[in-house]
Amino acid sequence: MALDDPIAHPDLHAALARRYGGDEPSGPLLWNDVIGHLLSHRSIRAYRKDALPDGTVETLVAAAQSAASSSNLQLWSVVAVADADKRAQLAQLAGGQQHIAHAPLILLWIADLARAHHIAARSDAPAEGFGYLESFLVASIDAALAAQNAVVAAESLGLGTVYIGALRNRPEDVAALIDLPPNAGVVFGLVVGWPDPDRPASIKPRLPQAAVLHHEGYALEPQQAAIDSYDATSRIFQHGQGLPTVGWIAQLLQRGASAASLNGRQRLSAALKALGFGLR
Ligand SMILES: Cc1cc2nc3c(=O)[nH]c(=O)nc-3n(C[C@H](O)[C@H](O)[C@H](O)COP(=O)(O)O)c2cc1C
């Protein structure tokens, strides 16, 4: 796809203003329709009940499978759950997140070393390498890249999505619900459905690039002004959404303050070992 005129494109300025809430990057940026779609991402938590078109799951999975995969090992799988009872159970396991029950579909993204162990066993081959943390990380990265491709594909079709990391609150229960074998675990879910036009979601501003983009080497101190500016931007956004205006820093600090804020995920290492992962 051709790049449009970088500076003159009117959509670029509007998209950057929404994405950064006033702290846009200073240099000229490039623009085309794909970049426009990416910049307008937002998580959707209010869905219409309507069914998805035939072929939606297969289309999203084809997009997912088109992501890069470490050494092409493809150490991930996805379980599509449309059954209403199962979605209701998943909603409960994820701390009562009702969008899981309301949307027609949730895709469960699996770090999948089960297939690799199965192939090794069938070949009577050693599988020691799959018992290391590196293999779990490779599988999780593969799953995340695949899922994000599915998100981009879904949004390009007008569908909405939201990731569900809270399924890691109860990894063993989630695994049992979808019959996972040992050496397979849900890294996160992804709700998919038609956004409810009566309850639209807004684009949530991100940190200024001055905080996340470094040239030739990393520097922490110069980020301070950008972090403070983002905290103020977040308060404005929260106010506009009718949310408590706590800012972003307080949310970050709250997550780090104690194990309790991890909602069960503080025992993830033990849970993954119980699911068969070596993590050595
Ligand atoms: C791995 C991951 C897990 C997430 N888990 C949840 C979740 O359990 N529930 C939820 O409502 N949103 C979840 N989110 C969505 C984030 O809250 C959201 O992406 C973030 O607030 C930024 O908002 P935006 O996606 O609308 O830009 C998750 C996002 C990611 C990437």
- At 7, the pLDDT band (50, 70, 90 cuts) reads very low
Distance spanning both ends of the chain, measured CA to CA? 44
- What contacts 17, CB < 8 A, 6 or more positions away? 24
pLDDT in tens, 81-138: 999 999 999 999 999 999 999 999 999 999 999 999 999 999 999 999 999 999 999 9
| pLDDT reported for residue 9 | 75
- 1 C-alpha to center of ligand 1: Å? 29
Range of the structural domain that residue 29 is part of? 1-40
> How many domains, in total, are found in the chain?
3
Main-chain phi, psi angles of 266, to 5 degrees: -65, -15
- What contacts 204, CB < 8 A, 6 or more positions away? 42, 43, 237
| pLDDT reported for residue 10 | 78
Q: Are residues 185 and 60 in the same domain?
A: yes
Looking up residue 96, the CATH number of its domain turns out to be 3.40.109.10
- Ligand 1 test: best mutation among 44, 162, 170, most atoms within 8 Å of CB? 162
Q: Are residues 36 and 109 in the same domain?
A: no
Residue 23: inside a domain: yes
- Ligand 1 test: best mutation among 19, 39, 43, 98, most atoms within 8 Å of CB? 43
Residue 48: inside a domain: no
* Separate counts of helices (H) and strands (E) for the chain: 12, 4
Residue 160: inside a domain: yes
| pLDDT reported for residue 1 | 46
Q: Are residues 120 and 250 in the same domain?
A: no
- 161 C-alpha to center of ligand 1: Å? 10
Ligand 1 is surrounded, with C-beta below 6 A, by 41-43, 45, 94, 97, 162-166, 188, 204
pLDDT in tens, 55-74: 999 999 999 999 999 999 99
- 114 C-alpha to center of ligand 1: Å? 27
Residue 255: inside a domain: yes
Handedness of CA 15, 17, 21, 27 (dihedral sign): positive
pLDDT in tens, 39-50: 999 999 999 999
Helix, strand, or coil (residue 158): coil
CB atoms within 10 A of CB 194: 18
| pLDDT reported for residue 4 | 46
Q: Are residues 142 and 260 in the same domain?
A: no
Ramachandran sector of residue 216 (left: φ over 0; alpha: ψ -120 to 50; beta: rest): left
**Percentage, residues of the chain above pLDDT 90:** 95
Q: Are residues 178 and 93 in the same domain?
A: yes
How far is Cα 84 from Cα 78, in angstroms, rounded to an integer? 18
Q: Are residues 3 and 126 in the same domain?
A: no
Query: Mean per-residue pLDDT for 175-179?
Result: 98
